[in-house]
Amino acid sequence: MKSEHEKQTRVVLVDDEELVLSALRTLLEINGGFQILEFNEPLQAVEELRRTPVDLVISDYLMPGINGVDLLRQARSLQPEAMRILLTGFADKQNAIRALNEAGVYQYLEKPWDNDQLLIVLRNALQEKGLRQQLTEKVRALDRLIRERDELAERQRHLEQELEMAARVQRSLLPHSFPQIPGVRIDSFYRPCHAIGGDYFDFIRRDGHTWILVSDVSGHGVQAALTSMLMKAIFQDAGAGTEDPAQLFAEMNARLNRFLPEGIYAAAVAVWVDERNCRIRLVNAGLPYPFVLRSGHRRLDEVALPGIPLGMFSGVGLDSYEARPIEMLPGDVLLVASDGLSETQAENGEFFGDRQLRQTLKELNGSDGSELIANLIERADRFSGSLRSTDDVAIVALTRTSP
């Protein structure tokens, strides 16, 4: 907390006449609130200004050594924020005008001065000084904000570049196409809600069978993308050693539970296709129930197969999974989608999965997987209107093309 002495306005008085200094000192002392530094030698005043911050300098013009204009010019150089007032005789008006231009004096007063007028000038000068200080502080604050904004913009640019690189890496993890399986065609769609996302699909083909995985990692952005990369590695390793969908998910669940932080998990569906006879088996771990569109009977079947998301629990009796065979005739389509499709929201708050999804699938029954996905996305986008998607969308469709 400032002392009373520190709160006072510090004023330098410079005049070679003692009577003038005495008159100015008395006037300021009567009004109070001033700390007065007085000098009858201009050069001494300059030396004091080099050492001591002041608020106001009042100087006579005609003095020995240096005149008032030169003194105030030096005061301006030493302490630009201090206000400067010149006292001058009637005959010195030209020099007073020079002082306004060269020394930047706030005002000049003729001797003899009027005390009331002098006090008004002092108050106005100090008020202007305060306003200038406030303006200077605001300008500095604005400059600081501009620098911070520029720094944030630069960091944002670097972050966007890094996210774009991460998105390219993540896209490279997705298969460019699925294998050509006799009697089955596989189509897919992927759209993250951010530059990078947590939805993911993949396949493994070996020894006459093909694994297809669709997964949805909890969360969004970088965390989910990193988890989906881990999913790929674990899927590729675990899927190479088994033909049992339930065993595949049990193994993936145990590994993910060991590596993932608490609270992060992955919903997924795995489809196993035997290429020798087009036999299909499916296992679900918390993804929305898949659908089978029966083109021959124009029937929509929901594969109501529950399962705990991968990585959520391990070794507590909740980590067993059921594999179910899926019978498909030529023209039938098995549709597996992440919850980003069903949770597409309209402007009125309704979700696409509430009733529109089933209705749309019934209307599109008879389409092959490629047409089904394209029309399904078009209907969902039209349903959401101007609302931006808040979740990733991944869809895989298996179309039975021949017996």
What the block records as the tokens of 331 is 């023209």
Query: How far apart are alpha carbons 53 and 142 in whole angstroms?
Result: 25
Helix axes 68-78, 93-102, angle to 10 degrees: 10
Q: Is the pLDDT of residue 96 over 70?
A: no
Q: What tokens does 273 get?
A: 């296709």
Average pLDDT over residues 132-148: 92
Residue count (the chain) = 403
Confidence band (pLDDT; 50, 70, 90) for 6?
A: low
Tell me the pLDDT tens digit for each residue of 214-229. Answer: 999 887 777 777 888 8
Cα(12)–Cα(84) distance, integer angstroms: 10
CB-based contact 15:40 (threshold 8 Å): yes
- Distance CA(171)–CA(202), nearest Å, equals 11
Answer whether 395's CB lies under 8 Å from 376's CB. Answer: yes
Buried/exposed code over 47-82 (b: 16+ C-beta within 10 A; e: otherwise)? eebeeeebbbbbbbbbbeebbbbbbbbbbbebbeeb
Mean pLDDT of the chain: 89
Of residues 249, 254, 226, 227, the one with CA closest to residue 239: 249
- At 239 the pLDDT is 92
Give residue-wise pLDDT tens across range 338-380.
Answer: 998 998 898 888 999 878 999 999 999 999 999 999 999 999 9
- Rounded CA-CA distance 89/158 in Å is 65
Domain limits, the chain: 4-138, 174-400
CA 266 – CA 284 distance, rounded (Å) = 11
Confidence category of residue 16, pLDDT binned at 50, 70, 90: very high
The C-alpha atoms of residue 88 and residue 113 are separated, in whole angstroms, by 10
> How far is 313 from 260, CA to CA, in rounded Å?
11
Q: Give the separation between CA 352 and CA 103, rounded to whole angstroms.
A: 75
CATH of range 4-138; options 3.50.50.60, 3.40.50.2300, 3.90.1150.10, 1.20.1250.20: 3.40.50.2300
Cα 102 to Cα 99: distance, rounded to the nearest angstrom: 5
Among 1.20.1420.20, 3.60.40.10, 1.20.1250.20, 3.50.50.60, name the CATH number for the domain at 174-400.
3.60.40.10
Residues 159-172 have pLDDT tens digits of 878 777 777 777 77
> Using CA atoms, how far apart are residues 99 and 122, in angstroms rounded to an integer?
18
Under the phi-then-psi rule, with left for phi > 0, alpha for psi from -120 to 50, and beta for the rest, what region is 185? beta
Q: At 260, list the tokens.
A: 């993932």
Range with lowest mean pLDDT among 51-65, 90-104, 162-176? 90-104
